[in-house]
Amino acid sequence: MKILDVLQKDAILLDLKSTDKKGVLDELVAPVARIAKLNHDDIVRVLMERESLGSTGIGGGIGIPHGKVKALKSLILGFGLSRKGVDFESMDGRPTYIFFLLITPENSAGLHLKLLARISRILKNDPFKEKLLAARDKDEVIKTIQEEDEDF
C-alpha cells in the first residue's frame, strides 16, 4: 500500500497554526473527521490517549500521531506542516514540523503497522523532508510524496 492510496488532498494542511500538541491534533483531525464522517472530539481523544503512552514525535522534526477508531471503515491519513515548529514532546526534544496523522479501524493492526513503517522509512530521507517543508501547495506535497514513495 502506497501513502497516496490513503492520503486525500483535502486532508493536507500546509500551515498548521497551533503551537502545542493538542492544538496540532485538533487541526490535523478536522479534515480527516469530515472525510471519514466521524466525531472530531472522539478522534482527538483516541490520539491523546495514545500520546499519553509515549510521544509519536519520533525526532528529526517528524510526528506520526496515530490511533485506532472503532467506527472507522477504512484507514485514513492526514498530513500537516508547521512552518514554525511545535513542541510535540519529541524523542530528541526538538520542534516537530512534518506530521502524518494515521487513523485506522480497530481490527487492522497489520495495515496500521505497514503504513507506519512505510512513512517512517521515507522520512529518513533528508532531501525528501526538505522538499516537503518547502512545498507551497497541496499538489507539490502530493508530487513529492509520489516521487519518494515509488522508490519503495
The residues that are catalytic are 66
Helix (H/G/I), strand (E/B), else coil: 10: strand
Count of Cβ atoms closer than 10 Å to residue 108 Cβ = 15
Block residue for cell numbers 472503532: 70
Burial class (CB in 10 A: 0-12, 13-18, 19+), 43: buried
Q: Are strands 96-105 and 57-59 parallel, antiparallel or unpaired?
A: unpaired
- Hey, what amino acid is at 2? K
Q: Please give, one letter per residue, the 3-state secondary structure of 19-59.
A: CEHHHHHHHHHHHHHHHHCCCHHHHHHHHHHHHHHCCCEEE
133-150 in b/e form (b: 16+ CB < 10 A) is: eebeebeebbebbeebbe
